[in-house]
Structure 1
Amino acid sequence: MTSSVMSQVALTSGQFSGSSFGVAAIWQYESLKSRVQSYFEELQADWLEKLRPQKRGDVRKEINQWWNSLTEGQKTVAGIIVANVLVFCAWPLVPLPIMLRYFTSNPASSAQCVPMLLSTFSHMSPFHLAANMYVLWSFSSSAVSMLGREQFLAVYLSAAVASSFSSYLWKTATGRYGPSVGASGAIMAVLALVCTKMPEAKLAIIFLPMFTFTAANALKAIVAMDTAGLLLGWRFFDHAAHLGGALFGIWYILFGHELIWKNREPFVKLWHDLRTRSGGGPGGPGGAV
Structure 2
Amino acid sequence: MLTSVFSHQTFLHFAFNNYALWSFGGSALIVAAHHAASYRSGAHVPEASPTPHFLAFFATAGVFAATVSHIVAAVRFRRISALHGLDVARAALGRQGSLGASGAVYAAVVMSACAFPDAQLGIIFLPFITFPIGAGVAGLVAADVAGVLLRWRMFDHWAHLGGAAFGWVYWWYGAEAWERLKRVLVERLRMGARGAVEQR
TM-score in terms of structure 1 length: 0.53
| Residue 99 of structure 2 is aligned to residue 181 of structure 1 | yes
The aligned counterpart of 1:204 is 122
Secondary structure in 1 aligned to 2:131? Answer: strand
The aligned counterpart of 1:149 is 51
> Does structure 1 retain, via aligned residues, the 8 Å contact 2:113–2:119?
yes
Secondary structure in 1 aligned to 2:8? Answer: coil
Moved beyond 6 Å, runs of 4+: none
Q: Call closer, same or farther: CA 1:172–1:142 in 2, change over 3 Å.
A: same
Secondary structure in 1 aligned to 2:22? Answer: helix
Gaps of 5+ in 1: 1-115, 280-289
| Residue 121 of structure 2 is aligned to residue 219 of structure 1 | no
Any residues of structure 2 matched to 1:155-166 within 5 Å, and which?
Answer: 155-166=57-68
Instruction: Give, in whole Å, the separation in 1 of the partners of 2:112 and 2:184.
Output: 27
Among 9, 17, 24, the residue aligned to 1:139: 24
Q: Call closer, same or farther: CA 1:274–1:174 in 2, change over 3 Å.
A: same
Gaps of 5+ in 2: 33-49, 78-92
After TM superposition, give the deviation of residue 188 of structure 1 in Å: 0.8
The aligned counterpart of 1:240 is 158
> Does structure 1 retain, via aligned residues, the 8 Å contact 2:107–2:165?
yes
Q: Call closer, same or farther: CA 1:194–1:151 in 2, change over 3 Å.
A: same
Secondary structure in 2 aligned to 1:237? Answer: coil
Instruction: Give, in whole Å, the separation in 2 of the partners of 1:196 and 1:252.
Output: 10
The aligned counterpart of 1:231 is 149
After TM superposition, give the deviation of residue 275 of structure 1 in Å: 6.0
Task: Please identify the structure whose Cα radius of gyration is greater.
Answer: 1
Secondary structure in 1 aligned to 2:155? Answer: coil
- The share of aligned pairs that are identical, in percent, is 39
> Does structure 1 retain, via aligned residues, the 8 Å contact 2:5–2:59?
no
- Residue 120 of structure 1 aligns to which amino acid in structure 2? V
Q: CA RMSD in A?
A: 1.8
**1:142-183 deviations in Å (ceiling 9; x for gaps):** 111221211111111111110111101211222234244211
Instruction: Give, in whole Å, the separation in 2 of the partners of 1:199 and 1:138.
Output: 16
Any residues of structure 2 matched to 1:102-113 within 5 Å, and which?
Answer: none
After TM superposition, give the deviation of residue 119 of structure 1 in Å: 1.4
Any residues of structure 2 matched to 1:1-289 within 5 Å, and which?
Answer: 116-147=1-32, 148-175=50-77, 176-177=93-94, 178-258=96-176, 260-264=177-181, 266-274=183-191, 276-277=193-194, 278=196
TM-score in terms of structure 2 length: 0.75
After TM superposition, give the deviation of residue 263 of structure 1 in Å: 2.7
